A and B are shown apart, each in its own frame.
Chain A
């Protein structure tokens, strides 16, 4: 690397701290082939369902059995399939279909921190969003996407039909990471703008200085069914830092002089794990489906896992 290039990089370090890959097409042919595959898988998961029927995650209110999903702490014991438990020694929850129209809202966190990390979290979030949206569209659900930071930044109007996936792609391509994170305020705006309740998929790194709980609670309190996809980057857990450094928050701009020692790094890791654990526990105790999406895992594998767990679509 030449001297001029290194100087330019050092001067521009604050502007592209995350190192985004804006020029690369997120939704190329290969991506779309994977989406078709996911759609097939999703149909198999939801076999027996009537086409164009609307589904909701309100288990128990319907009468027609739809599927099983794994038991998660906090689920209602009444829906456990004891027969399956007797035969396979597995705790599975019986899910019933309700003949109800379903709206799926994808809330993509596009704050500054989403551009951070080795794997580019925003890029990963876009792909998850696109995949899930495609599955939704393929199943004739209403899909709406909004991007947030400390407010609702962009909104894609509700749409239906598989052919609209390109509209989804166009919308997602235009998303750029910027601004600070305030999920509470942003989602208050979101619930005010969307009177029709439905599944609200929050795809975010949950780095909210006011607390990640606020945003999820806003969805819960306003009768949305929140589903949290927590995008994480392992590099954030183990930052490669040592010595005298000036830490710079890429969202807020806060600066802090720190001398990083192995002891400090160890404490940071403990704190990070505690933070992740807090999120996990919060969602579990409030029956909010929660999926941790590591950017190092291929997104299609993650999506399949979501289907397998059955917590997202039925």
Chain B
């Protein structure tokens, strides 16, 4: 017998003090209530029998005292938390990894696999031995311990209640490494994996996971296999016709049976396309929808069985995507008049062009504030505009680049053809009467897009502060460029270079990844509205909001204020809000057929054993129960005047 709580000496001292107090109180007894009576002989007659039993009464009082002392002894003994020595030594340390990945939302078992898994773990908690300790961790895209290592059943059950399913796949190697790290230097460590088994190999960039001496147990959850899921889904606008877009998706039948499904595509909530498909077991069916229109923002794909039923995993039957926001770019042309320029800008209906004279530019338009692009035609302002700018033949101190010696008959001898402003253009044979050599600021990151003779740049792109600029070193009227197709292409490419969406724009994120969403302010924190309606504060690091997404659906990120600075452009209306979508899109996670056995590090996981519901090897509980029982007994005997 070992005392896990207070030591024997402490227990003896407590019992001695408390016992003396009990005996003292017993000896003192409470003073009886004095009641006057008129004629005591009447009472004496009926109490004659009582006198005969005085000895017995004393014995009963002694019994009462002994009961009190027994109660005290039980309570003091319970303080010591006595345990059998063998039990204490054999206490196990368990790390329970509860799979909360998307496949655990499968409804092949009622109500779903995750709830069944939680019930399995709950049974384990109730079957813990007195010396056993358990830690419960949720295993999804990462591993999250939900409480401390504990033997307290209520604490463990509270931790278990926090397990929530996600739309991500499980990072099994990470979870195993967490478990092995937790159990390092622990005797009788045991890892219990409660999952449907679709976890992939226990292998990551650091190599295979080694379990060491830790025992691995596996509780398999789930029975069904029937599932068809959307495993790819993306959308993009056509670069040259942004009112139209194309969609690519892939549907996979991960089940063992042929499935007839109905695939619907919704744009802004309206059905754009409805297709019936037949998928053979294991078949992956890609679908491509070119030249779609009618949706400006959201796209969704939904799966359903033709017969109206649902497969076992609804989580992968719905995919989301967002089209990049399409809006009219506001262009300010500062010119005394240039027909070529005005005509070229009329070509794109998504341009909102305002033309002003150089005088009005300063007086009425506040230096370009509120515009996406300012085009300076043979005019160079003293101060740079608060917008992206195209300089045609810049001059003077306001020029973003230094303008040097005049060039006679320059041409585009060298062109950076990969630069977006010269995409689809043929500038090699443009004839220019005269121009000026531009000197790029290499330190500021300026790029020479076109140069004359390899040494005289005449087309430079770069940025000053937060604003981009493009400078063309000649007046277009002194060349035949406006007469060429390259002229409007160059102009529109330049506007797009300034205003086009991020080339890295993706129509949806994957759940389970760490998302880095660009934000347009200097805020260090942003608010993210989740698909369910809840909001979370997320940190912004290096201009991007960082968030580990685990739910499929549409998100909206609101970042900070809308104040603009020279270094940070004022966002155009609504630009401080960024919307994006997230999807599971994981064929492996959509494969829900439960795996009967789990092999890690060459070992096959064993069955869970050693949990006996209702048996706690903690003696103090029984001591307390005995104390309660004795109290009830004492109460009953007292009120029935047996022990008084």
Instruction: Tell me, yes or no, whether B21 is within 8 Å of chain A by CB.
Output: no
What per-residue 1/0 map shows which CB atoms of A254-269 lie under 8 Å from chain B?
1011110100100110
Min CB distance A150 to B, Å, is 14
Instruction: Tell me, yes or no, whether B35 is within 8 Å of chain A by CB.
Output: yes
Known contacts A257-B32, A261-B641: does B37 contact A247 (CB below 8 Å)?
Answer: yes
What per-residue 1/0 map shows which CB atoms of A231-275 lie under 8 Å from chain B?
000001001010111111111101011110100100110011001
Instruction: Tell me, yes or no, whether B573 is within 8 Å of chain A by CB.
Output: no
The docked-state distance in angstroms from the alpha carbon of A249 to that of B37 is 5
Q: In the complex, are the beta carbons of A250 and B37 less than 8 A apart?
A: yes
Min CB distance A119 to B, Å, is 12
Q: In the complex, are the beta carbons of B37 and A248 less than 8 A apart?
A: yes
Instruction: Tell me, yes or no, whether A209 is within 8 Å of chain B by CB.
Output: yes
The docked-state distance in angstroms from the alpha carbon of A243 to that of B31 is 12
Q: In the complex, are the beta carbons of A248 and B43 less than 8 A apart?
A: no
Known: A14-B34, A271-B46. 10 other contacts (CB 8 A): A209-B39, A236-B39, A243-B33, A244-B30, A246-B34, A249-B36, A249-B39, A250-B37, A258-B50, A271-B45
Min CB distance A237 to B, Å, is 10
Instruction: Tell me, yes or no, whether B563 is within 8 Å of chain A by CB.
Output: no
Q: In the complex, are the beta carbons of A248 and B36 less than 8 A apart?
A: yes
Q: In the complex, are the beta carbons of A256 and B44 less than 8 A apart?
A: yes
Min CB distance B291 to A, Å, is 96
Instruction: Tell me, yes or no, whether B574 is within 8 Å of chain A by CB.
Output: no
Cβ < 8 Å to A, chain B residues 1-36? 30, 32-36
Min CB distance B383 to A, Å, is 90
The docked-state distance in angstroms from the alpha carbon of A208 to that of B644 is 32
B644 nearest in chain A by CB position: A259
The docked-state distance in angstroms from the alpha carbon of A116 to that of B42 is 15
The docked-state distance in angstroms from the alpha carbon of A54 to that of B233 is 134
A10 nearest in chain B by CB position: B34
Picked from A117, A246, A249, A275, the residue with its CB within 8 Å of the CB of B32 is A246
Enumerate chain A residues within 8 angstroms of B36, measured Cβ to Cβ.
13-14, 17, 116, 248-250
Enumerate chain A residues within 8 angstroms of B32, measured Cβ to Cβ.
244-246, 257
The docked-state distance in angstroms from the alpha carbon of A209 to that of B33 is 25
Q: 23 A-B residue contacts at CB 8 Å?
A: A14-B36, A113-B38, A116-B37, A116-B38, A205-B38, A207-B38, A209-B41, A236-B38, A239-B35, A243-B33, A244-B33, A245-B33, A247-B43, A249-B36, A249-B37, A249-B40, A251-B39, A252-B40, A256-B43, A256-B44, A256-B47, A268-B42, A271-B42
Enumerate chain B residues within 8 angstroms of A275, measured Cβ to Cβ.
42
Min CB distance A246 to B, Å, is 4
What per-residue 1/0 map shows which CB atoms of A80-121 lie under 8 Å from chain B?
000000000000000000000000000000001100110000
Enumerate chain A residues within 8 angstroms of B44, measured Cβ to Cβ.
256
Q: In the complex, are the beta carbons of B43 and A250 less than 8 A apart?
A: no
Q: In the complex, are the beta carbons of B35 and A207 less than 8 A apart?
A: no
Enumerate chain B residues within 8 angstroms of A249, measured Cβ to Cβ.
36-40
Enumerate chain B residues within 8 angstroms of A209, measured Cβ to Cβ.
39, 41
Enumerate chain B residues within 8 angstroms of A13, measured Cβ to Cβ.
34, 36
Min CB distance B99 to A, Å, is 64
Min CB distance B303 to A, Å, is 78
B30 nearest in chain A by CB position: A244
Q: In the complex, are the beta carbons of A245 and B46 less than 8 A apart?
A: no
Q: In the complex, are the beta carbons of B39 and A241 less than 8 A apart?
A: no
B36 nearest in chain A by CB position: A17
Min CB distance B580 to A, Å, is 75
Q: In the complex, are the beta carbons of B35 and A250 less than 8 A apart?
A: no
Enumerate chain B residues within 8 angstroms of A207, measured Cβ to Cβ.
38-39
Nearest 9 pairs between A and B by C-beta?
A: A17-B36, A249-B40, A116-B38, A113-B38, A207-B39, A246-B32, A267-B46, A250-B36, A246-B34
Min CB distance A268 to B, Å, is 6
Q: In the complex, are the beta carbons of A248 and B33 less than 8 A apart?
A: no
The docked-state distance in angstroms from the alpha carbon of A271 to that of B46 is 7
Known contacts A256-B47, A259-B644, A268-B46: does B40 contact A245 (CB below 8 Å)?
Answer: no
Known contacts A245-B32, A245-B33, A261-B641: does B39 contact A113 (CB below 8 Å)?
Answer: yes
The docked-state distance in angstroms from the alpha carbon of A17 to that of B30 is 23
The docked-state distance in angstroms from the alpha carbon of A267 to that of B45 is 10
Enumerate chain A residues within 8 angstroms of B47, measured Cβ to Cβ.
256, 258
Enumerate chain A residues within 8 angstroms of B37, measured Cβ to Cβ.
116, 239, 247-250
Enumerate chain A residues within 8 angstroms of B41, measured Cβ to Cβ.
209
A272 nearest in chain B by CB position: B42
Q: In the complex, are the beta carbons of B45 and A245 less than 8 A apart?
A: no
Q: In the complex, are the beta carbons of A117 and B38 less than 8 A apart?
A: yes
Min CB distance A109 to B, Å, is 12
Cβ < 8 Å to B, chain A residues 170-202? none
A253 nearest in chain B by CB position: B40
The docked-state distance in angstroms from the alpha carbon of A208 to that of B264 is 110
Min CB distance A306 to B, Å, is 24
The docked-state distance in angstroms from the alpha carbon of A155 to that of B101 is 108
B42 nearest in chain A by CB position: A271
The docked-state distance in angstroms from the alpha carbon of A159 to that of B15 is 79
Enumerate chain A residues within 8 angstroms of B50, measured Cβ to Cβ.
258
Most chain A CB atoms below 10 A, which of B39, B641, B644: B39
The docked-state distance in angstroms from the alpha carbon of A246 to that of B33 is 6
B34 nearest in chain A by CB position: A246
Enumerate chain A residues within 8 angstroms of B33, measured Cβ to Cβ.
243-246
Q: In the complex, are the beta carbons of A251 and B43 less than 8 A apart?
A: no
What per-residue 1/0 map shows which CB atoms of A202-244 lie under 8 Å from chain B?
0001010100000000000000000000000000100101011
Min CB distance B58 to A, Å, is 13
Cβ < 8 Å to A, chain B residues 595-644? 641, 644
The docked-state distance in angstroms from the alpha carbon of A113 to that of B39 is 7
Picked from A116, A117, A248, A264, the residue with its CB within 8 Å of the CB of B46 is A264
Enumerate chain B residues within 8 angstroms of A254, measured Cβ to Cβ.
40
B29 nearest in chain A by CB position: A244
Q: In the complex, are the beta carbons of A248 and B38 less than 8 A apart?
A: no
The docked-state distance in angstroms from the alpha carbon of A271 to that of B33 is 23
Enumerate chain B residues within 8 angstroms of A257, measured Cβ to Cβ.
32
A250 nearest in chain B by CB position: B36
A266 nearest in chain B by CB position: B46
The docked-state distance in angstroms from the alpha carbon of A251 to that of B38 is 7
The docked-state distance in angstroms from the alpha carbon of A86 to that of B42 is 45
Q: In the complex, are the beta carbons of A248 and B35 less than 8 A apart?
A: yes
The docked-state distance in angstroms from the alpha carbon of A249 to that of B40 is 6
Enumerate chain B residues within 8 angstroms of A267, measured Cβ to Cβ.
46
What per-residue 1/0 map shows which CB atoms of A107-147 lie under 8 Å from chain B?
00000110011000000000000000000000000000000
B39 nearest in chain A by CB position: A207
Min CB distance A293 to B, Å, is 15
A254 nearest in chain B by CB position: B40
B641 nearest in chain A by CB position: A261
B37 nearest in chain A by CB position: A247
Min CB distance A267 to B, Å, is 4
The docked-state distance in angstroms from the alpha carbon of A259 to that of B42 is 15
Picked from A113, A245, A259, A268, the residue with its CB within 8 Å of the CB of B34 is A245
A115 nearest in chain B by CB position: B38
Q: In the complex, are the beta carbons of A246 and B46 less than 8 A apart?
A: no
The docked-state distance in angstroms from the alpha carbon of A256 to that of B47 is 10
The docked-state distance in angstroms from the alpha carbon of A251 to that of B30 is 26
Enumerate chain A residues within 8 angstroms of B45, measured Cβ to Cβ.
271
Min CB distance A122 to B, Å, is 12
Enumerate chain B residues within 8 angstroms of A246, measured Cβ to Cβ.
32-35
B46 nearest in chain A by CB position: A267
The docked-state distance in angstroms from the alpha carbon of A25 to that of B47 is 41
Known contacts A259-B641, A259-B644: does B35 contact A241 (CB below 8 Å)?
Answer: yes
The docked-state distance in angstroms from the alpha carbon of A236 to that of B36 is 11
Enumerate chain B residues within 8 angstroms of A239, measured Cβ to Cβ.
35, 37
A247 nearest in chain B by CB position: B37
Enumerate chain B residues within 8 angstroms of A244, measured Cβ to Cβ.
30, 32-33, 644
The docked-state distance in angstroms from the alpha carbon of A246 to that of B32 is 6
Enumerate chain A residues within 8 angstroms of B42, measured Cβ to Cβ.
268, 271-272, 275
A239 nearest in chain B by CB position: B37
A14 nearest in chain B by CB position: B36
Min CB distance A230 to B, Å, is 13
A236 nearest in chain B by CB position: B38
